[in-house]
Amino acid sequence: MPKKYHIEAKAAAPRHTPIGRHGIVDFNEDCAGACHHCVKKECIYDIYRKEGIFTREMPGELHYLYSCMNCLRCVQNCTRAVVTRTVNPEFRWLGDAYWKPEMLLTTWYQAETGKIPVSGAGYRGPFAGPGFDNMWTDMSEIVRPTRDGIHGREYISTSVDVGAKLTELSFDERGQLAVAPPPVLELPVPFVLGIPHFGDWSPGAYEAFARAAQAIRTLCVIDPGLVTPNLEPYRAALAPAVSGATISRHRDAIAGARLVQLEYDDAFAANVAAIKLIAPGAVVTVRAPIDADSHLLAERLVAAGVESITFAANHHGRSGAFGGGEFIKESFRRIHAHLMAKGVRDTVTLIASGGIALAEHMAKAIICGADLVVVDIPFLIALECRMCMNCTLGRPCPVDVAGTPPEHGARRITNLASAWHSQLLEVLGAMGLREVRRLRGEYGRAMFQEDLERETFQALFAGKRAKGQ
Amino acid sequence: MSTQAAITAKITRRPKATVTRFRNAIGKYKVVRTDRCTGCGLCAKLCPHGVHVRYEGYSRTTRPKDHLCRGTWCKENCDYYCIDKCPAGALSMGLNPVYESMGDPRWTPDMILSTWDQAENGRITNETLEPHLGASGGGFDKLRLNFPKEPALKLKPSEVDTHLSLNRRGSGPKVVIDVPWYGGGMSYGSVSPATMVGKAHACMVWNSFTCTGEGGYPPHLYPYDDHVITQVATGLFGVREETIQRVRIVEFKYAQGAKPGLGGHLLGDKNTPAVARMREAVAGTSLFSPFPFHSVYSIEDHKKHVDWVLAMNPKALVSAKVSTPNDVDMVAVGSYYAGVHIVHLDGSYGGTGAAPDIAKKNIAMPIEYAIPKVHQFLVNEGIRDKVTLIASGGLRNVHDLVKAICLGANGAVIGTAEMVALECIRCGACESGRGCARGIATTDPELSLQFDYEWAARRITNLYSSWHAQLVDILVRFGIRSVSELVGRTDLLHHVDYSE
């Protein structure tokens, strides 16, 4: 058994007070003053006392709104009923329609602690929703054993291979391999880091990404034009993203790379050949925007010998620039099924990019047919980004992402990756799968809402009259 | 135990007001009285809901009991709307900001407040709250009960039968409960002793069952032996021959809806010396139950389990609690052929003391899909009449219960609703540190003393009373004589997306 892959997590506190969901408000003018019920008795989490220390000594940032556990004891037992709770308006402003405030909160928590978010009292979200929220992963029971990977009792592999695989081997008369296997890159986790299209970037922030990629032993896909000398020590963890026009300019970056991302254009075959000339051992992934014809493009690229394709959706996981278009989940199911039908699926590695916001999205994208995913914005959120988009308007970043010390930033990114890795193990363990490679395209280990609705409610109720009141 | 006997005699099915244990109750509206108040007392005379009270001999009315306020409903429907009537213009009213910050799509603030109302009064007193529908936008929240304008059969409430027989196999002991639901498994260690006994007490009053969960059979449940299900789960914590022999029902927990495919875990802080003793473990260490049962990798293995229990306690019924994977129908059929009496499906949105968020949201299917799937499969297999199919995992109120039965279940298991009856606010911090700040899901010696079991028993009994009355009312409106006739009656439901 190989040594178990493990991502080390170590607590890394935020540099700025994160935005919490709720705020406790008290109307001091009616406060009884001396009862101190809230401080001494009611707050079992000791937040009121810490607030007192803060107001007296001003030791640093006040993590007050962030750390309230919402038990409402102070509200319900205040002797004068002057304490109340409200939703923090800033919380509502976080993120956007896809990147929900709760996603930012849970990502911050994971980046800080490296732990899996755990809570009680059942699931509290909507029944289902758009995007990845209308599919469920399967679990095994009685007749199909699960895997006990979470507590380390059984080994579950999260490694994936990037590159083309031969469909068969051939040997010469001396029994020697007669074909040259194409280069294959093995990554211990089914994701690579990407650089989001927005952000308050600085060489330090890029360095945090590169350092983290190295620590996780995966890669960071980055435009070589952004690589500054401080990223040199992490060069092995960088995957240059180039286009046909920039290949010659970035010869040095390509030369040492294990994975090169090439922007798709009509001359892709010649461009791939040019890259292979510089770096014969590198895997080249051709990146194309995802659209309704992606499955046909995939077929064409595979026929031309492309060993990996990155299909990129926008940051809401949809094709098309402004939110519309098909969701990446549907697109990948179609692409995967098409390549399966053509019998060429295993000769290419598919990478999904765009809209991967939570650990479950990684697993679900893989179920839908991707081999691995590009994770970009969550790692920027790990650097405390609030998705306010000030950076795109030329305004200052409220949390100064650019000023993040690289080591600290890398720590938070690594923590998030560690939590995602653990959650992937949970999902795989529950499904009874021993490795993430077997998850790819495993529709049978997933349940899609449209199928369940059709089989149950539609079958039971469609066309039936609602009588009575 | 003598005090317990005295309390036992006091608590009956008749509702008895059991008010909040907190100083300030939370309501939907906030009523503010300013200094302009002259103390004329008109509001106290007007308000029939008891928001304004002026005690005899006092010149001032008390602080408004605004949790009783009906808000704008009064303005629209009544002539005693205090805000308009106050001669000094001293009163104002608005939505309570706490209300707005409470709840979630599954348990809306209305549903939480309504459950509190029922636990307090034993019936729905505040009809301005929506008690039946959540805002989750799917499943039960898109199903509606299809009441006829006039029932075909006119019934009096006393003619309606709500019993549920838990053994339908045709052999073995008869176990019949008076209401078609029983309490979910909550272990010694996860909830406070008062909560555990309160649940058991309410189940005794209503001739139903509570479940020990995985974590042993604490002595304070001994008086309720005939109303306790003991659970055998993968960690086998606290499972002994003696505990199996105590009870009338033994439940194998193969999986739990909230964390399907993952074992249970009790974090170290909640593993107090008493809990550790019961579980035969070391205090302060986190206790993880493995997954799956490493002795069960097939239905044949499962049959060995069932035989093992029946050999120890031939008078017991056996229940298999399973989650809802793709092949839940096969699991249910296999469980039946292995000899269980009850197949208990636990859907993926159910409550729990601690589960990874990723598991609660994503693993296994919601119960609404699983019930008709299994029901139909059992019908096709020709064994539906022999199986007691119990549903749980996200059933929050009587309407959910009736919908589950109409979809094909025989009855239900409830858990979170009982916790909400004890004033759970659903903050979700059950597992953290010393446990529940409100004293429900905690074994902390200080926190768990916030209420006694009599209060807990009364609140849950009141909730059951309210549910029972609503269930009877629903059956009367349907013109259906018994709960057992409801099973599989999807014609009594309609779906807002598909029905015409």
Q: With a cut of 90, say whether residue A412 has pLDDT above it.
A: yes
Q: Backbone phi, then psi, for A87, in 5-degree steps? A: -75, 135
Chain B, nearest residue to A84 by Cα = B98
For residue A156, give how far its alpha carbon lies from the nearest alpha carbon of chain B (Å): 14
Q: What is the pLDDT of residues A11-38, one digit of tens each?
A: 999 998 888 888 777 777 788 878 888 8
Which of the residues A139, A154, A426 would you substitute to probe the B interface, choosing the one with the greatest number of B C-beta atoms within 10 Å? A139
Sort strands B29-33 and B91-95 into parallel, antiparallel or unpaired. Answer: antiparallel
CB spacing of A462 vs B498 below 8 angstroms: yes
Residue B1 is predicted with a pLDDT of 43
CB spacing of A121 vs B427 below 8 angstroms: yes
Q: With a cut of 70, say whether residue A66 has pLDDT above it.
A: no
pLDDT band at A469 (very low <50, low <70, confident <90, very high): very low
**A359 contact residues in B (CB cutoff 8 A):** 358
pLDDT band at A172 (very low <50, low <70, confident <90, very high): very high
**Which residue intervals of A432-454 are DSSP H helices?**
449-453
- Nearest by CB: A468 against B148, B358, B490: B148
Q: Is the peptide bond before A280 cis (omega within 30 degrees of 0)?
A: no
Question: Mean pLDDT, to the nearest integer, of B112-128?
Answer: 95
Task: Specify the range with the lowest mean pLDDT, choosing from B270-279, B340-349, B365-374, B381-390.
Answer: B270-279
Identify whether the C-beta of residue A366 lies closer than 8 Å to the C-beta of residue A135. Answer: no
For residue B345, give how far its alpha carbon lies from the nearest alpha carbon of chain A (Å): 12
Q: With a cut of 80, say whether residue A62 has pLDDT above it.
A: no
For residue B9, give how far its alpha carbon lies from the nearest alpha carbon of chain A (Å): 32
Chain B, nearest residue to A79 by Cα = B23
Question: Mean pLDDT, to the nearest integer, of A98-125?
Answer: 94
Sort strands B91-95 and B143-145 into parallel, antiparallel or unpaired. Answer: unpaired
CA B115 to chain CA mean position, Å: 10
Give the span between the Cα atoms of B328 and B371, in whole angstroms. Answer: 9
CA B216 to chain CA mean position, Å: 21
For residue A119, give how far its alpha carbon lies from the nearest alpha carbon of chain B (Å): 5
Residue bearing the bigger pLDDT, A89 or B8: A89
Residue A153 is predicted with a pLDDT of 67
Residue A11 is predicted with a pLDDT of 94
CB spacing of B136 vs A127 below 8 angstroms: yes
- Nearest by CB: B500 against A73, A457, A463: A463
Q: What is the pLDDT of residues B276-315, one digit of tens each?
A: 888 888 988 888 887 778 788 888 999 999 999 999 999 9
Residue A18 is predicted with a pLDDT of 86
Residue B333 is predicted with a pLDDT of 95
Give the span between the Cα atoms of A246 and A345, in whole angstroms. Answer: 30
Q: Percentage of chain A with pLDDT > 70?
A: 94
Q: Backbone phi, then psi, for A26, in 5-degree steps? A: -125, 145
Residue bearing the bigger pLDDT, A469 or B104: B104
**B65 contact residues in A (CB cutoff 8 A):** none
**A150 contact residues in B (CB cutoff 8 A):** 262-263
Identify whether the C-beta of residue B293 lies closer than 8 Å to the C-beta of residue B226. Answer: no
- Nearest by CB: B24 against A78, A122, A468: A78
**A46 contact residues in B (CB cutoff 8 A):** none
Q: With a cut of 80, say whether residue B119 has pLDDT above it.
A: yes
Q: What is the pLDDT of residues A347-400, one digit of tens each?
A: 999 999 999 999 999 999 999 999 999 999 999 999 999 999 999 999 999 999
Residue A331 is predicted with a pLDDT of 96
* DSSP state at residue B363: B
Q: With a cut of 60, say whether residue A468 has pLDDT above it.
A: no
Which of the residues B28, B101, B141, B392 would you substitute to probe the A interface, choosing the one with the greatest number of A C-beta atoms within 10 Å? B101
Residue A1 is predicted with a pLDDT of 56
Question: Which of A66-75, A118-127, A239-248 tops mean pLDDT?
Answer: A239-248
Give the span between the Cα atoms of A296 and B191, in whole angstroms. Answer: 57
Q: With a cut of 90, say whether residue B261 has pLDDT above it.
A: no
Query: Is the predicted ipTM greater than 0.95, yes or no?
Result: no
Other beta carbons within 10 angstroms of residue A464's beta carbon come to 16
Identify whether the C-beta of residue A143 lies closer than 8 Å to the C-beta of residue B292. Answer: no
Question: Mean pLDDT, to the nearest integer, of B467-488?
Answer: 97
Q: With a cut of 70, say whether residue B263 has pLDDT above it.
A: yes
Give the span between the Cα atoms of B466 and A139, in whole angstroms. Answer: 36
Other beta carbons within 10 angstroms of residue A136's beta carbon come to 26
Q: With a cut of 60, say whether residue B101 has pLDDT above it.
A: yes
Q: With a cut of 70, say whether residue A150 has pLDDT above it.
A: no
In the block, residue with structure tokens 């260690």: B189
Q: Does the CA dihedral A27-A31-A34-A37 come out positive or negative? A: negative
Cβ contacts below 8 Å, chain A against chain B, sum to: 300
How many helices (DSSP H) and strands (DSSP E) are in chain B? 16, 17
Residue A155 is predicted with a pLDDT of 85
Q: Percentage of chain B with pLDDT > 90?
A: 76
- Nearest by CB: B431 against A118, A138, A144: A118
Residue B15 is predicted with a pLDDT of 95
CB spacing of B335 vs A127 below 8 angstroms: no
Give the span between the Cα atoms of B271 and B282, in whole angstroms. Answer: 8
Structure token pair of residue B256: 């739990």
Q: What is the pLDDT of residues B202-248, one digit of tens each?
A: 999 999 999 999 888 999 999 999 999 999 998 888 899 999 999 99
Question: Mean pLDDT, to the nearest integer, of B1-30?
Answer: 86
Residue B99 is predicted with a pLDDT of 94
Residue B475 is predicted with a pLDDT of 97
The average confidence (pLDDT) of chain B is 92
User: Please, what is the Cα angle at A199 between A198 and A204, to 5 degrees?
Assistant: 135
Structure token pair of residue A155: 């080994």
CB spacing of A461 vs B358 below 8 angstroms: no
Which residues lie across from B29 on neighbouring strands?
B95
Residue bearing the bigger pLDDT, B376 or A463: B376
Q: With a cut of 80, say whether residue B362 has pLDDT above it.
A: yes
Give the span between the Cα atoms of A177 and A179, in whole angstroms. Answer: 6
Q: What is the pLDDT of residues A199-243, one digit of tens each?
A: 999 999 999 999 999 999 999 999 999 999 999 999 999 999 999
**A118 contact residues in B (CB cutoff 8 A):** 354-357, 431
pLDDT band at A59 (very low <50, low <70, confident <90, very high): low
Q: With a cut of 60, say whether residue A65 has pLDDT above it.
A: no
The average confidence (pLDDT) of chain A is 91
For residue A125, give how far its alpha carbon lies from the nearest alpha carbon of chain B (Å): 6
Q: With a cut of 70, say whether residue A2 has pLDDT above it.
A: no
Question: Mean pLDDT, to the nearest integer, of A290-306?
Answer: 96
CB spacing of B322 vs A141 below 8 angstroms: yes
- Nearest by CB: A77 against B22, B97, B424: B22
Q: DSSP letters of A213-278?
A: HHHHT--EEE-GGG--GGGGGGGGGEEEEE-GGGTTTTHHHHHT-SEEEEE--TTHHHHHHHHHHH
Give the span between the Cα atoms of B177 and B262, in whole angstroms. Answer: 31
Q: With a cut of 60, say whether residue A263 has pLDDT above it.
A: yes
Identify whether the C-beta of residue B442 lies closer than 8 Å to the C-beta of residue B270. Answer: yes
**B359 contact residues in A (CB cutoff 8 A):** 426-427, 430
Q: With a cut of 60, say whether residue A63 has pLDDT above it.
A: no
% helix, strand, coil for chain B, step of 5: 40, 15, 50
CB spacing of B146 vs A466 below 8 angstroms: yes
Structure token pair of residue B443: 């074994």
Residue bearing the bigger pLDDT, A460 or A61: A460
- Nearest by CB: B351 against A44, A122, A146: A122
pLDDT band at B3 (very low <50, low <70, confident <90, very high): low
Give the span between the Cα atoms of A13 and A340, in whole angstroms. Answer: 46
Residue bearing the bigger pLDDT, B1 or A364: A364
Q: With a cut of 80, say whether residue A323 has pLDDT above it.
A: no
Kindly tell me the burial class for residue B78, based on how many C-beta atoms sit within 10 Å of its own C-beta (0-12, 13-18, 19 or more): middle
Give the span between the Cα atoms of A468 and A453, in whole angstroms. Answer: 24
